[in-house]
Amino acid sequence: MLGTTALRAIVYACAFITLWIWFAYEAHLRDVPFGFPLPDWVAPIGIALMAMGLVIMAACVATFVVRGRGTPAPFDPPRAFVASGPYRWVRNPMYIGMFVFLVGYALCAVSFAALLVAFAMLAAAHLVAVLYEEPSLARRFGEPYREYRRTTPRWIPRSPRHPARPANGS
């Protein structure tokens, strides 16, 4: 069961990443560079940001599979409440990882349009989190999720204020 859940999670995460990379790439093809040359030393920063974003997203997927017994996809969500791993620091690390990756891509491509796609993704993620995910999680997991929401920031990571909780949130 864990193997099929992991495979589904990997497929869904790759689809999510591929979709946003495609948007950024298409935007990059249609824009002009920033309008001023970026120094050569920016490219390694972009590559580092892309790698960091991938690591964050991989940690999120692994946490959802192992601790939550599900995937990051809304149509195949974790069966157990997850407030551990990257989710100890911030409520939306998967979206943050994608944002960091896209900013890195924009730096490597020297593309203002790709940078705009990164911010568009973050705005879309904010709307999804506020309008769909948070109310849905509050209904599914009740008080453990509401407490988590009170103690864990939505977007700006910070040191956890509570010890790591078991996967079921108790």
Domain span holding position 142: 2-151
Specify if 81 maps to a domain.
Answer: yes
How buried is residue 154: exposed, middle or buried, by Cβ count under 10 Å (0-12/13-18/19+)?
middle
Specify if 166 maps to a domain.
Answer: no
pLDDT of the residue at 71: 87
CB 66 within 8 A of CB 1: no
Specify if 163 maps to a domain.
Answer: no
Specify if 103 maps to a domain.
Answer: yes
Amino acid making up residue 54: L
Alpha helices (runs of H) in 67-129, residue ranges in sequence order: 93-109, 112-128
pLDDT of the residue at 124: 97
How buried is residue 92: exposed, middle or buried, by Cβ count under 10 Å (0-12/13-18/19+)?
buried
Specify if 74 maps to a domain.
Answer: yes
pLDDT of the residue at 170: 38
Structure tokens at 56: 């964050």
Averaged pLDDT, groups of 10, the chain, 170 residues long: 84 91 90 71 93 96 91 86 94 97 93 91 96 94 95 91 51
From residue 111, give the alpha-carbon distance in Å to each of 20, 24, 44, 82, 108.
15, 9, 15, 36, 8
Specify if 134 maps to a domain.
Answer: yes
Specify if 21 maps to a domain.
Answer: yes
What total of structural domains would you count in the chain?
1
d(CA 152, CA 89): 7
Specify if 169 maps to a domain.
Answer: no
Bridge partners of 33, per DSSP, are: 111
Q: Which residues contact 130 (CB under 8 A, 6 or more apart)?
A: none
